Amino acid sequence: MARLSGKTALVMGASGRDNMGQVIARRLVDEGAKIVLSGRRLDELERFAGEIGGSGIAADITSKADNDALAAQIGNRFGGVDIVVNATGWGLLKPFELTTEEELRRMVDLQFVGPFLFFQSILPQVREGGSLIQISSATATIMLDDHAAYMGTKAGFDHVMRCLANEYGRRGIRANSVSPGFTETPMTAGAAKVPGLLETYASRYPLGRVGRTDDIADAVAWLASDGCFMSGQNLQVNGGLTLRGNPSREEIDAAVMAATGRPRPRPWGNGRTGSGRNG
C-alpha cells in the first residue's frame, strides 16, 4: 500500500513549471496522497493539477489575506490537511554590500514573514499526527559567497520550525526542514550551463554529484509518512556537502576561467539580481 494513502497534502510554491514544489507534489501523489497545489500563478497550478489529478488554489505566501483564504478553502473543500510543504524561495546571489534595502525586504517577506504567516494560517486545518515540512538550504549551515540575505532568512526559519515542533507536538504534529545543496532545478539552470561551474560544485560532494529534485522529494515523502518518528530536525539532503563546504568565489572563478578563458559573469554586474522568485 502507498505510504500516504488517505492523506491530503498541500504544497506551497508549486506554480513554477518543473520546479522543486512540483516534483515534490508529484512524488506525494505517487505515494497515494490527495494533493493541493498553491502558489502565485493560477494558470500553471491548474495545468499541473490537471496533469497529476490534484487541485490548485492561488495564493501569495507573503499575503496574510491569501494565506487565510487558502486555509479556509482547505477546510471547506477537504476537511483539513495532513501534510504541509513550503517550497518557496528566491535564489538571490549578490554581495552583502550591494544588496539593496528593497531586495532585503523582499527576501525577508518571502522567506521569513511569509512562511510564518502561512503556517499560522494553515495550522488550525492540520489534522492530528500531521507533518509540516520546510524546504531550507545547506547554506543555512555552511557558507556560500554572495548569498547572505538568502542564507540568513533560511537559517532563521529553520529555528521557527523547531519552535513549531516543540509547540505542536502535543497534537502529534511533526515539523522538520530539508536542506538541499546546489540542486538542478529550473531556478539553477542558468548557472549550471556556465562551463566549469557545475563540476566545481560536484567536487565538493562526497557522493560525487550535485543534488536532483528527486532526492529532495524522496526525503519529503519519508518525512510526510507515519513511519517518520522525527521532529524539530533539519535533514541535510545534499550528498555530504556539509562535510566539505561549498566552493569559494575564487575557486569558482578559477574553474570558469580555465574552462572558458573568460571571467565568470556576475549576475549583479548590471544592477540586476540573480535568480527569480520560485512561486
Provide the annotated active-site residues: 150
Residue tagged 520546479 (cell numbers): 19
Tell me the Ramachandran region of residue 172: left when phi exceeds 0, alpha when psi lies from -120 to 50, beta otherwise: left
- For helices 114-122 and 148-168, the axis angle rounded to 10 degrees is 20
222: Cβ contacts below 8 Å, ≥ 6 apart: 228
Secondary structure of 110-142 as H, E, C letters: HHHHHHHHHHHHHHHHEEEEEEEEEECCHHHCC
Q: How far is CA 10 from CA 56, 64, 208, 212, 251, in A?
A: 10, 17, 33, 21, 40
Name the residue among 190, 240, 233 with its Cα closest to residue 211: 240
Distance from C-alpha of 225 to C-alpha of 31, rounded to nearest angstrom:
9
Residue 165 grid coordinates:
515542533
H helix runs in 203-264, sequence order: 213-224, 241-244, 249-260
Q: Is 9 left (phi over 0), alpha (psi -120 to 50) or beta?
A: beta
